[in-house]
Structure 1
Amino acid sequence: MTSPAELEACAPAGTFVETVTSVTHYTDRLFHFHMTRPSGFRFRSGEFVMIGLMVGDKPVFRAYSIASPSWAEDLEFFSIKVPDGPLTSHLQQIKPGDAVLMRKKPTGTLVNDALVKGRRLYMFSTGTGIAPFASVIRDPETYEKFDELILTHSCREVAELKYGQDLVASVKEDEMLNELFDTSRLRLYNSVTRDPFPFQGRITDLIESGKLFTDLDVPPLDPACDRAMICGSAEMLKDTKSLLEQAGLTEGANNRPAEFVIERAFAG
């Protein structure tokens, strides 16, 4: 892979060149990495940014949610591995010390600003769609705005749940975070679609049947007190949005806060 010094010489305008500091491979389909944070780079927890590499003599970029909270000293990302993917086929090979490109402007809708205050925040995620919520659940503002946080993470196989399970465990065990907010208000609900597991099925089926709410011992969705963020495949976004609207929740945006928001950058 390219070193930071080598990449600096050919990096396109409007990009940062940052250094990979750690890489963790969870399965043959999923990995996680940290890299340095540019001086002066600011973002809101839940936003995404364009990450890239030089492939041959051309830069290749894709949108990646920033998994680290806005106050973190480094930047964290959670990625799928696509064997023939224009970027991920190369990105999955990075090692500490390698260089990565990052465009300078973060953006996105999975932010606290896009939701009106409520009692309970659901974060519905599938696969690597959990990444923005890794940021949101470590932001003090989230705990100021909502009394209860419910992170749902649905995957095909049990092994694919590990990143989210480790993440939530680390939040609950972090002394600094526990001084800032009550991490017992954060709950994790996992389900899988292919392996044997206590909770099985697509998250949309679990919402529609009411099993999700029974399992969590909470009332059904109520626009008066429930808020939601959604990140996953295009089909999952469409189906979950429909269920939330059936329950009376309205989609919001940065300039029009409401009861739920969707991250559309990864849908297609």
Structure 2
Amino acid sequence: MSVTVAVSAPLEPSASLSVEKVLSVKHWNEHLFSFTISRPASFRFRSGEFVMIGLQGDNGKPLLRAYSVASPAYAEELEFLSIKVEDGPLTSKLQQIKEGDDIYLGRKPTGTLVTDALKPGRRLFLLGTGTGLAPWMSIIRDPDVYDLFNHVIVVHSVRRVSDLAYHDVLEAKLAEDPLVDGAAAEQLHYVPTVTREDFHTRDRIDVLIKDGRLFKDAAADPAKFDPVHDRIMLCGSMAMIKETAELLDSLGFTEGSNAHPGDYVIERAFVG
């Protein structure tokens, strides 16, 4: 008796998609993983932008989703951070990728989580929950950001300690990154917080803002948001973004865009 094994057709590039190789995969825990892929010579992006990533769907057509690029604009490889969803149309397949596999990459990166969408300032706050850390990993590894701001504060809120992707790299202030290690040692601040397990900081971002702990190690003068000098990016849960954006609006901050730079930005492609 013979057994027929279904074999997926090879991925085919198109006008909007290239086919790249998976170079590495790191599983942080059962809910979170990151991976790197090859970068086409023609692929250009600004640190903080997102692009479409995908695999072949069950219907034989590309199954795509927007992912923030976690690597800086100068990197030779492209890095992404993803959750694992057991029955997710794409992530159920994506979490199984391994080195050498093919993957779709969109040809046109875009987004508003870029310094071009912000007015000049002194402090840059990067507020993220979960995989909302990804664009911050791109931005803080870009040397230009340290010329634009005196202090760069990465705030990452997760449910469990094991969800703190890149924790050791951030705690070390990018010490092994030769392009930014010197600047990051002086200007980068990391504020991790865990909401459902024991940790030295165990509150949501809104609580840290209200009680001032967000500013403790962030050149805390002033120990509050200042629309004159502070610039803010938001990425992650819709609840956090909505609540924080409303707070910023009430304080006199204005939302920015690529066409009209402002005091804070969110990625509207993700929040609807």
TM-score normalised by L of structure 2: 0.91
- Tell me the equivalent position of 1:246: 250
- Tell me the equivalent position of 1:98: 101
Give the CA deviation at 1:242.
1.2
2:244 aligned partner, one-letter code: T
SS at match of 2:270: coil
Aligned partners of 1:114 and 1:252: how far apart in 2?
6
SS at match of 2:164: helix
Q: Which 10-residue stretch deviates more, 244-253 or 134-143?
A: 244-253
- Match of residue 66, structure 1, among 65, 69, 82: 69
- Match of residue 158, structure 2, among 133, 155, 160: 155
Q: How many residues align?
A: 264
Give the CA deviation at 1:264.
2.2
Aligned partners of 2:95 and 2:167: how far apart in 1?
19
Aligned partners of 1:2 and 1:32: how far apart in 2?
26
SS at match of 2:110: coil
- Tell me the equivalent position of 1:87: 90
Give the CA deviation at 1:213.
2.4
- Establish whether residue 221 from structure 1 lines up as the match of residue 205 from structure 2: no
SS at match of 1:84: coil
1:230 aligned partner, one-letter code: L
Q: Name whichever structure is richer in helix by fraction.
A: 1
- Match of residue 50, structure 1, among 38, 49, 52: 52
Aligned partners of 1:81 and 1:36: how far apart in 2?
22
Aligned partners of 2:7 and 2:175: how far apart in 1?
37
- Tell me the equivalent position of 1:128: 131
Decide whether the 8 Å contact of 2:36 with 2:79 is kept in 1: yes
2:209 aligned partner, one-letter code: I
Deviations 1:193-228 (A, max 9, x none): 100111111101211233322465612110111110
Aligned partners of 1:166 and 1:2: how far apart in 2?
39
Query: Which structure 2 segments of 5+ residues have no match?
Result: 1-5
- Tell me the equivalent position of 1:188: 190
Aligned partners of 1:235 and 1:12: how far apart in 2?
36
Aligned partners of 2:92 and 2:238: how far apart in 1?
22
1:109 aligned partner, one-letter code: T
SS at match of 2:208: helix
Q: Percent identity?
A: 52
Give the CA deviation at 1:103.
1.3
Query: Which structure 1 segments of 5+ residues have no match?
Result: none
Cα RMSD, aligned residues only: 2.0
Deviations 1:101-153 (A, max 9, x none): 01111000000100011010000000000000100001112111100000000
Which 4+ runs in 1 deviate beyond 6 A? none
- Tell me the equivalent position of 1:107: 110
Larger Rg: 2
Decide whether the 8 Å contact of 1:19 with 1:36 is kept in 2: yes
Give the CA deviation at 1:260.
0.5
TM-score normalised by L of structure 1: 0.92
Give the CA deviation at 1:174.
2.2
